[in-house]
Amino acid sequence: NIPSKVRLIDVGPRDGLQNEKQPVPAAVKIELVHRLQAAGLKEIEVTSYVSPKWVPQMADNHEVMAGMTRQGGVRYSVLTPNLKGYEAAVLDKPDEIVVFGAASEAFSQKNINCSIAESIERFAPVVAAAKAAGIAVRGAMSCTVGCPYEGDIAPERVAYLAGLMKGIGVERVDVADTIGVGTPRKVQAAIGATLQHFGIDHISGHFHDTYGQALSNTLAALEMGVWNFQSSVAGLGGCPYAKGATGNVATEDVVYLLHGMGIETGIDLDKLVDAGQFISGHLGRPSGSRVARALLAK
Ligand code: HMG
Ligand code: MG
């Protein structure tokens, strides 16, 4: 059942950097995107169009999108929580927009200031407009295993959100373990719940590594046939509305796992490590990737 090829979506420029306190210059973000595509990434989550009062680090969305040199065959995605965000985003010609909901009511309120039901009402016109404009649509589902405010999240809640996403025309969804509390069977249950509404080709795994479980969870998802994953170069990241959440699983670590299992990714690990060193150097701290640290110590 394990897929022979995997598509990785690097969310470093967005999920990875959104929580950085010091502003990261747009030129650095652009260089990071360039290095990721040079390493063979075919999908990059570049930025978000959210309130700059809430997430100041993403206020340069326009500059980053306009400043990067696009490479053929690479899909550039951006987050848009509402029509205002979509209208700003569409000017920058993303290949895909991402609406982002949560399986937990409390997290929805903290993150996007509305209930799950209200969020779907806000997303519906965004999804319709994107599809009419020929832009792909992904739905991020946060807190599919656990929530920083509500604790454990039952798979039924994930199925409910996936059904709502499907109902408004979202094409594929991310099963996100936002705070990295999941373990393999729990993650499989969340994916199983999502399978009630989306086929396996339209589900991606998005695992944070807070408790060191992300690679195990990746393997558990692979065993179910999931072949799309989000990860963040150098393990950058953390969510501003999820206290204590560390970064996404490092892309380098996932690539090492996959290549070690003979699974193709199209990614050049050495170039990816360079990309990770570039951004870690800029941030002034060691890479969050175990693989990068091991390779650099050789
Ligand atoms: P709100 O306050 O409910 O919205 O915020 P509002 O419509 O009442 O507007 C309030 C102000 O925000 C107004 O400005 C609007 O113009 C402005 P003011 O009149 O006060 O000057 N505004 C906007 N500005 C720019 N872009 C927009 C936009 N919309 C309204 N799109 C809102 C609602 C969603 C905007 C707000 O709550 C927000 O920006 N939240 C930030 C959400 C966010 O970026 N979270 C992090 C990403 S999610 C994540 O990381 C999880 C994920 O990675 C998966 C995982 O790991 O689980 C995806
Ligand atoms: Mg995330």
Tell me the whole-structure pTM to 2 decimals.
Answer: 0.97
pLDDT band at 285 (very low <50, low <70, confident <90, very high): confident
pLDDT attached to residue 243: 67
- Could you read off the pLDDT of 102-132 as tens digits, one per residue? 999 999 999 999 999 999 999 999 999 999 9
pLDDT attached to residue 101: 98
Any atom of ligand 1 within 6 Å of the Cβ of 48? yes
pLDDT band at 247 (very low <50, low <70, confident <90, very high): confident
d(CA 151, CA 154): 10
Mean pLDDT (whole number) for 239-267: 88
Any atom of ligand 1 within 6 Å of the Cβ of 55? yes
pLDDT band at 172 (very low <50, low <70, confident <90, very high): very high
| CB contact at 8 A, 291 and 256 | yes
Mean pLDDT (whole number) for 22-35: 97
Ligand 2 geometric centre to CA of 250 (Å): 12
pLDDT band at 162 (very low <50, low <70, confident <90, very high): very high
pLDDT at 245 over 80: no
- CA quadruple 162, 215, 77, 107: dihedral positive or negative? positive
pLDDT attached to residue 59: 98
3-state secondary structure the chain: CCCCECEEEECHHHHHCCCCCCCCCHHHHHHHHHHHHHCCCCEEEEEECCCCCCCHHHCCHHHHHHHCCCCCCCEEEEECCCHHHHHHHHCCCCCEEEEEEECCHHHHHHHHCCCHHHHHHHHHHHHHHHHHCCCEEEEEEECCCEECCCEECCHHHHHHHHHHHHHCCCCEEEEEECCCCCCHHHHHHHHHHHCCCCCHHHEEEEEECCCCCHHHHHHHHHHCCCCEEEEEHHHCCCCCCCCCCCCECEHHHHHHHHHHCCCECCCCHHHHHHHHHHHHHHHCCCCCCHHHHHHHHC
Count of beta carbons in the 10 Å neighbourhood of residue 1: 7
pLDDT at 167 over 90: yes
Ligand 2 geometric centre to CA of 134 (Å): 26
Bigger pLDDT: 255 vs 247: 255
| CB contact at 8 A, 203 and 175 | yes
pLDDT band at 246 (very low <50, low <70, confident <90, very high): confident
Residue to mutate, 46, 47, 51, ligand 1, most ligand atoms under 8 Å from C-beta: 51
pLDDT band at 192 (very low <50, low <70, confident <90, very high): very high
pLDDT attached to residue 242: 63
- Residue 86 CA: nearest ligand 1 atom is 31
Angle at 7 between CA 6 and CA 11, to 5 degrees: 135
pLDDT attached to residue 85: 98
Mean pLDDT of the chain: 96
pLDDT attached to residue 1: 82
Q: Which residues of 261-289 are buried (b: 16+ CB within 10 A; e: fewer)?
A: eebebebebebbbebbbbbbebbeeebbb
Count of beta carbons in the 10 Å neighbourhood of residue 185: 9
% residues pLDDT > 90 (the chain): 94
Mean pLDDT (whole number) for 23-47: 98
In one-letter notation, the amino acid at residue 75 is R
Any atom of ligand 1 within 6 Å of the Cβ of 146? no
pLDDT at 238 over 70: no
pLDDT attached to residue 241: 66
**Per-chain residues with Cβ under 5 A from ion ligand 2:** 15
Mean pLDDT (whole number) for 85-104: 98
pLDDT attached to residue 237: 87
The reply to whether ipTM tops 0.85 is yes
Mean pLDDT (whole number) for 64-86: 98
Mean pLDDT (whole number) for 88-103: 98
Q: Which residues of 106-129 are buried (b: 16+ CB within 10 A; e: fewer)?
A: ebbbbbbebebeebbebbbebbeb
Angle at 37 between CA 79 and CA 55, to 5 degrees: 30
Any atom of ligand 1 within 6 Å of the Cβ of 78? no
d(CA 136, CA 44): 14
